[in-house]
A = this chain, B = another copy of it.
Amino acid sequence: MNPDASGAPPATAGKTGSARAATRRKARDPLAPDPAGAQAGGAGSAEGGFDPHVPNVDYGVLDNLIGYALRRAQIRIYEDFVLSLAQWQITPPRFSALVIISRNPHLKLTELAHILGIARSGAVLLVDALEEMKLVARRPAPGDRRAYSLVLTPAGRRTLEAATQAVVAHDAHAGSALTETEQATLKSLLARLAPPRAG
């Protein structure tokens, strides 16, 4: 289910040329699994990036949908994120999980899933991968013998610190064609999308 979880190296400050080449090869594969086409960052990366408007393709109703406009933007951002973080093998969900775990002590797996808006089964795979990468560890949860809480390892803290700088730079690139006012407008409009249904 998670082809890149095994053998994903922990972060290292310096890399040899061949390790860097290996990282680059790896980055051309989707770092996150991509079943049923549910996630971005796939084949497009290997072919010079996702083209949101492939010539001579009729997108039909998709061109009118807010949801598909969001999807197009998300694929491009996802691809740039994965390339920007390739040296750490950190995908967007992995980064989000590391941030949430680092800032919320005694977090349980189900809480992490709830916060990230993913299924518990997805959170299990995510944490398994981070544990194999030696970035996250499970600790017995105080007062609940069946549960455990999640912590960053020392390597996890170092990796998160370096990765955060790379993510902030990536995000600045993602918004680089927008003024600060436009970025604020975008965030505010996004926050108003898909209001909860009554009932």
Q: A143 on the interface (CB 8 Å rule)?
A: no
Instruction: Note all chain B residues with C-beta closer than 8 A to A155.
Output: none
| A68 x B96 contact (CB < 8 A) | yes
On whether A190 and B104 interact (CB within 8 A), knowing A61-B167, A115-B57, the answer reads no
Instruction: Note all chain B residues with C-beta closer than 8 A to A120.
Output: 42-43
| B74 x A118 contact (CB < 8 A) | no
Question: Quick one: CB contact mask for A121-145 with B, threshold 8 Å, 1 for yes?
Answer: 1110110010000000000000000
Question: Quick one: CB contact mask for A58-78 with B, threshold 8 Å, 1 for yes?
Answer: 111110111111111111110
Compute how far the CA of A69 lies from the CA of B178 in the bound complex, rounded to whole angstroms. 15
| A117 x B185 contact (CB < 8 A) | no
Return the chain B residue nearest A96 by Cβ.
Answer: B62
Instruction: Choose one: B37, B59, B67, B94; the contact of A125 (CB below 8 Å).
Output: B37
| B93 x A59 contact (CB < 8 A) | no
| A168 x B61 contact (CB < 8 A) | yes
| A119 x B195 contact (CB < 8 A) | no
Q: A88 on the interface (CB 8 Å rule)?
A: no
Instruction: Choose one: B57, B73, B129, B194; the contact of A173 (CB below 8 Å).
Output: B194
Instruction: Note all chain B residues with C-beta closer than 8 A to A29.
Output: 119
Return the chain B residue nearest A128 by Cβ.
Answer: B36
